Structure 1
């Protein structure tokens, strides 16, 4: 690997396979920005560039310095960091009655495209530099001994003014010179969680990042299930949450949009039933489709109808068994089980009609083998402007909008190039992460005209080749639901 320093102190590294033919500056359609870093006091960043393969460059970007320290946040009656003014005033009085000096702070959740601003209040005690976290912890212990719930807070996480620092990894994929393709994967099964490294290795991907959010509110053995649309190789493996953001991958193209899915079971007698879900736990009276990719048993307490690839009913059974290769299972309980009993008899045909509709174009996507879909967390940028759809995408809270977390971000440029980025966070003094507004600013700075937030926090991971290139906030790579892969062909 060779390195040389350019004006402005930016180091560029090149690691090219012998077969790689990098584009000239005139040919490149996506470039790293020359402007100052967009966050904090707009410092000049340092970056190191590595050419991964033809059309793909990796940038290691660092900016800012550490000036934030620690404080102690007294929790509200509901256990949250902030709350109403009366609750904050009551907590302030409780702390002061102990002889502690406390302050009440106003917290403003910024307005976004689909939700107004909101004001809440926090009660805090003390201020310590980064090196004195132990003193903040001692204060928390004292408050807890007095039966006041409290926690240590790093001020860089607040989401208000900061000097950083930031540690980001950016992959730029040039639409003009990249010759591979994009894909989604859920690993060995829908139900099981796996690391990005494992999923990337299995497909021999050149780049991989974590995908959308997964369901942490279901039973432990099913927590790999995506929250929102998942299509892998043209097959719907998880239904959409209607109207929420997603990224549609087809060949070497990527598009950010909003989706709706409909799945209908049609009996040979003409009767139809709405399939409420795909590869997830079933609620009362629901009809749920399970595919061979599910990787877990169907729920107990209902009826299963096993159908083959042609829709023929090849088995009617009590629920609670695995899905055999080459089959699908329609599971129903309550009223849905009654429908199966009446309209899905042994040797009958039950057609499963699946539609995935792009809500921007109002057209159905063709479920071909090169089609993949990953659900996003929040829309960030649309047509070159910040448009944060936190409420529609299920993340309308101070914690998600204002506070800083590790982020995994995806954007497309005007000409269709793809930008993948991670911003590490929750590492005081090392990297602060970003809030939604900062994430949108960052992606616009990189040249994205459309951008989306994927899952973040401890899930944020980027793999290049066989190496994890960022530093997950959990200290180790987390098992996740799905991943976006960049394949060499």
Structure 2
């Protein structure tokens, strides 16, 4: 049902359903599909292919057209843009008391593999074309003057029916002819955020995309820290969020799986203690390992045990100092500080036992120099079928599952090809992005039998050669925590 019936108080039921896509036959090489674009009304896309280097092709894909406009969404007392039916009906009355006509919209968030569907209600006022946003702004101002909390919404972002448009970049890497390798990069340090362009340039990569989520809820100086597993050159630099999707890179192979990490400190006297984290802020009674890649000082208010490359304690110190090259630091506060003072004496050895376990195979990964890991955010496709693990990966909200955002996507095919894609969004009339269901359908369409969502939103970036080829929603490239790089060797 068209959302053009929003005005006039009509109740609208809108739902997004999973579309069953045909399984892609195994091919000798990765190929761009000839079928219609899988989103919206399945338009025929326009595409331009550029051969990047041997075994790597870049596709610039555009599809759909702009027919969406603007409405004013009335926020609920919770601050969300949706609520229960009684709460929404109360807001409808408040809008009408302010002299405007409200529409009550029923929205069904689709079920995913690990979370049931959810029915909610939204309150909308008015409907204006793309060029008439000023009129939506004026209505929003009037409602705010009546003490209502509102926002102007572009309907293409809703996650419901749309005609687009979409602006997509896809890199396909053929394992038969590609002669390079894959790597992860945290840039100059774990703590610092950098652009994908900067990391591509530093490593001489031919392709780079932004990696997983980074911690925006810590101090500003530490916001490059990945939220999830990070392995660079065989070194574990950030612990797992247990069970979260990740991509394991080794040489020119890529595997999507779920991981957990287990890090233990073992004193010379045989005492063992769990290491709670790696290269991140500490909380009370935690033991955290800091490596020389951290790029910041250890936290104040605890004890540091400085270890050399062989695990020998070269000194105990008051915390709050830098990590010298060639050393690691075990930092503890509270009971963790007590453990260090009792079991990490100077000249003693404290072994750090590190395990990264593949939860699909139940086997530990060998932390060799050619191993790299980039954490994903949400699983999308597993064994050739759409399987969205939003709850497992901590993103089962209406905003994350249903609404459209810019996306950075990664998939692998049956024959080992790697697919990297960006779907730009949050640019009304230009490109609408995708929700999780659409992202999964899109990756199946491209031929992925396994696929994950990396970080997205303003972080979405793809660099090919030395050029940023997508259009970030912030208007410029954002500094991010890590990147996945395609190297020429």
- TM-score, normalisation: structure 1: 0.94
- In the TM superposition, residue 99 of structure 1 has moved relative to its aligned partner by 1.1
Match of 2:219?
219
> What SS does the aligned partner of 1:339 have?
helix
CA deviation profile, 1:367-399 (whole Å, cap 9, x unmatched): 000000000010000000000000000100110
State whether structure 2 residue 477 is matched by structure 1 residue 477: yes
CA deviation profile, 1:427-477 (whole Å, cap 9, x unmatched): 000000000000000000000000000000000000000000000000000
- In the TM superposition, residue 122 of structure 1 has moved relative to its aligned partner by 0.8
- In the TM superposition, residue 130 of structure 1 has moved relative to its aligned partner by 0.2
Which has the larger displacement, 450-459 or 136-145? Answer: 136-145
Distance 1:137 1:108 in 2: 27
CA deviation profile, 1:344-373 (whole Å, cap 9, x unmatched): 001100000000000000000000000000
Is the 8 Å Cα contact of residues 265 and 351 (structure 1) preserved in structure 2? yes
> What SS does the aligned partner of 2:361 have?
coil
Is the 8 Å Cα contact of residues 230 and 373 (structure 2) preserved in structure 1? yes
State whether structure 2 residue 306 is matched by structure 1 residue 303: no
State whether structure 2 residue 316 is matched by structure 1 residue 319: no
Is the 8 Å Cα contact of residues 28 and 415 (structure 2) preserved in structure 1? no
Is the 8 Å Cα contact of residues 109 and 397 (structure 1) preserved in structure 2? no
Distance 1:480 1:81 in 2: 28
State whether structure 2 residue 210 is matched by structure 1 residue 188: no
Distance 2:80 2:290 in 1: 37
Match of 1:435?
435
Match of 2:173?
173
- In the TM superposition, residue 28 of structure 1 has moved relative to its aligned partner by 5.5
> What SS does the aligned partner of 2:437 have?
helix
Distance 2:465 2:423 in 1: 19
CA deviation profile, 1:316-361 (whole Å, cap 9, x unmatched): 0000111111000000000000000000001100000000000000
State whether structure 2 residue 354 is matched by structure 1 residue 354: yes
- In the TM superposition, residue 69 of structure 1 has moved relative to its aligned partner by 0.3
State whether structure 2 residue 241 is matched by structure 1 residue 234: no
CA deviation profile, 1:279-320 (whole Å, cap 9, x unmatched): 000111000000000011111110000000000001100001
Aligned length: 464
Alignment RMSD (CA, Å): 0.9
> What SS does the aligned partner of 1:392 have?
coil
Distance 2:460 2:381 in 1: 20
> What SS does the aligned partner of 1:320 have?
coil
- In the TM superposition, residue 212 of structure 1 has moved relative to its aligned partner by 0.2
CA deviation profile, 1:394-425 (whole Å, cap 9, x unmatched): 10011000000000000000011000000000
Distance 2:324 2:159 in 1: 49
Displaced runs of 4 or more, over 2 A: none
Is the 8 Å Cα contact of residues 424 and 470 (structure 1) preserved in structure 2? yes
- In the TM superposition, residue 120 of structure 1 has moved relative to its aligned partner by 1.2
Match of 1:344?
344
State whether structure 2 residue 89 is matched by structure 1 residue 89: yes
Match of 1:456?
456
> What SS does the aligned partner of 2:403 have?
coil
Which has the larger displacement, 86-95 or 205-214? Answer: 86-95
Distance 1:87 1:340 in 2: 53
Match of 2:161?
161
> What SS does the aligned partner of 1:138 have?
helix
> What SS does the aligned partner of 2:317 have?
strand
> What SS does the aligned partner of 2:136 have?
helix
CA deviation profile, 1:99-131 (whole Å, cap 9, x unmatched): 100011112111000000111111110000000
- TM-score, normalisation: structure 2: 0.94
> What SS does the aligned partner of 1:480 have?
coil
Is the 8 Å Cα contact of residues 208 and 486 (structure 1) preserved in structure 2? yes
